[in-house]
Structure 1
Amino acid sequence: MDLRTEIREFLSSRRARITPEQAGLPAYGGNRRVKGLRREEVALLAGVSVDYYVRMERGSLAGASDGVLDALASALRLDEAERDHLVRLARRSRAPGGPRRRRPAVTVRPTLRQVLDAISDAPAWICNGRYDVLAMNRLARALFSPVLADPRRPANTTRFVYLHPEAARDFFVDYDRIAGDAAAKLRMEAGRNPHDEELIALVGELSTCSELFRQHWASQDVRLHRSGRKRVHHPVVGRLDLDVETLDLPAEPGLHLNIYTTPAGTPTADNLALLASWAATPQTSATEIEAHNE
């Protein structure tokens, strides 16, 4: 997507979701022709001229100072992920655009694989910002067996969500939330690495093949990799309500370690133990994947 178009659609979508009442402004006139705030109202809240804000919303963020960006983020009530995305859009505006580039294939270091294998009581796996599955421990392979059923490698959880919707709806209890978050995290990654050829190809594939993805992508929502709760229905052991911790790996920029746990003494703990037992049996060998991209 063209950078100026990206900026325009992001700012206009954030402006459209805020009413004058929410912003503490009087709503003059009963027949407003715009959804949400008008441009002049955003300019007032941000403390800039109307002409200046109009130029920004038309895609010109190159001259915006950090103070102006912060004021704009406050006026539009941006959350942490949205603020980060706005700053990255501004940085891209200041720097000349680069060509698409294929990022070198990431090989997960043997010591990281040892870490995964040492986590024996919890599913754990490593992904990049595109949600390619780069390495998993045995329990994670068992947990995500529906995702790994697709022979394409590297497996990709976002591709599973959007291109295998029936299987994904059966697997993810909160499918609608998962789908929205997946698209929002990909857009966040696109802000970080706008020239990543494989990311561009993934977004293009999902946009071509999934109407639902197109709708979520058009929303301009962004999300950070965060901890939370993931509820799944495993085809072998049933319902699992798992707490997810997502950790950045400082020595491997762009990679994330995901660990799934549950409190002891819960039904999920019992089912997770059953899953571990099932994972130790030969039938899971078909889902084995390599750490490198095949």
Structure 2
Amino acid sequence: MAKIDLRTEIKEFLTSRRARITPERAGLPAYGGNRRVKGLRREEVALLAGVSVDYYVRMERGSLTGASDGVLDALASALQLDEAERDHLFHLARQSRTPGGPRRRRSAGTVRPALQRMLDAITEAPAWICNGRYDVLATNHLARALYSPVLADPRRPANTARFVYLDPEAAETFFVDYDRVACDVAAKLRMEAGRNPHDEELIALVGELSTRSELFRRRWASQDVRLHRSGRKRLHHPVVGQLDLDVESMDLSAEPGLLLTVYTAPAGTPAADGLALLTSWAASQEQPATESQATS
């Protein structure tokens, strides 16, 4: 993939969202028994959004340059977009207003020392920092232990999206809900593409995954988008077994584009016992290295 083309992104996103809504779902009469299009017609979307048919056709052909926030809100309502989809639409429109923007060059694969110290201070929960491309940029000791299958790839920074799609056998073992994780990863990468379409590393990653994974090509073509959310994740660690963990993800306001993720478990649960076992195992893995350094 040489580039992410904004006009194509806009066209395919709007077309896919229009196709999933029936007239009945939109509260419109379905005239005629043999509709030639899947979902709503363009003129029906225009009616619901309160714009002319010609104007909507221009938007769906990839031109959001002159669309005001009010028009975008009306279009989002007409297409019944959820929060992530609405944000994606606004990202695409924002990028359309500054066409041909500079590509982002390769960024460093590390974070500020203060952020690493913050992670190291979190001693009872796996915590790490990643970017919108799923590069794992920094971890604490428990995250290194928990994500050992992901970090087994010697390539740095390690990348969760590559693990999910290019090492599917290991990923299906590690992620108990693999299908959902695979959907979410592609959808969040699509969200990142709307936010940063000139990011060279993102373009290269999407190209690599598209070339090497049929599953990714299908997920990417769906045009689905997702926001990073808190929730529950089920992992199967090769040493401590299954862990059903609560995940909290939060943007780092001082470092735009970076995300802090922390996994926890309620006290007294099997998952909490599993994290305690993981802590012991992580300490045993680090101890030989410490002793080797002391004797050298």
Give TM class, smaller chain.
over 0.9
* Pairing 1:258–2:256 present: no
**1: CA distance between counterparts of 2:26 and 2:91?**
25
**1: CA distance between counterparts of 2:131 and 2:63?**
30
Q: Which of these residues, 214, 223, 230, is aligned with residue 220 of structure 1?
A: 223
2:98 aligns with 95
2:147 aligns with 144
Deviations 1:173-227 (A, max 9, x none): 1101100100111111111111111111000000000000011111111111111
* Pairing 1:166–2:169 present: yes
**2: CA distance between counterparts of 1:183 and 1:258?**
18
**Range 17-26 or range 106-115, more displaced:** 106-115
CA drift at 1:245:
0.4
**2: CA distance between counterparts of 1:143 and 1:228?**
17
Contact 1:227 1:244 in 2 (8 A): yes
1:207 aligns with 210
Amino acid at match of 1:275: L
> Structure 1 length normalisation: TM-score?
0.94
Counting matched residue pairs gives 286
Q: Which of these residues, 187, 194, 217, is aligned with residue 184 of structure 1?
A: 187
**1: CA distance between counterparts of 2:250 and 2:96?**
30
Instruction: Give the match's secondary structure for 1:69.
Output: helix
Amino acid at match of 2:50: G
**2: CA distance between counterparts of 1:3 and 1:192?**
11
* Pairing 1:6–2:9 present: yes
Deviations 1:240-266 (A, max 9, x none): 011110011111111111000111111
Are the structure 2 counterparts of residues 257 and 170 from structure 1 closer, same or farther at C-alpha, using a change threshold of 3 Å? same
**2: CA distance between counterparts of 1:150 and 1:283?**
19
Displaced runs of 4 or more, over 3 A: 283-286
**2: CA distance between counterparts of 1:157 and 1:92?**
26
Amino acid at match of 1:84: D
Question: Counterparts in 2 of 1:14-29, with a 5 A limit?
Answer: 14-29=17-32
Contact 1:242 1:260 in 2 (8 A): yes
1:71 aligns with 74
CA drift at 1:283:
6.6
**1: CA distance between counterparts of 2:149 and 2:245?**
17
* Pairing 1:235–2:238 present: yes
Contact 1:142 1:284 in 2 (8 A): no
Q: Which sections of structure 2, spanning at least 5 residues, go unmatched?
A: 290-296
Amino acid at match of 2:75: L
* Pairing 1:33–2:20 present: no
1:267 aligns with 270
Instruction: Give the match's secondary structure for 1:121.
Output: coil
Structure 1 vs Structure 2: percent identity of aligned residues?
83
**1: CA distance between counterparts of 2:287 and 2:89?**
44
1:127 aligns with 130
Instruction: Give the match's secondary structure for 1:155.
Output: coil
* Pairing 1:115–2:118 present: yes
**2: CA distance between counterparts of 1:180 and 1:255?**
21
> Structure 2 length normalisation: TM-score?
0.93
**2: CA distance between counterparts of 1:120 and 1:175?**
28
CA drift at 1:148:
0.8
**2: CA distance between counterparts of 1:192 and 1:259?**
24
* Pairing 1:196–2:207 present: no
Instruction: Give the match's secondary structure for 1:263.
Output: coil
RMSD of aligned residue pairs (Cα, Å): 1.4
Amino acid at match of 1:27: A
**2: CA distance between counterparts of 1:104 and 1:5?**
26
CA drift at 1:284:
8.8
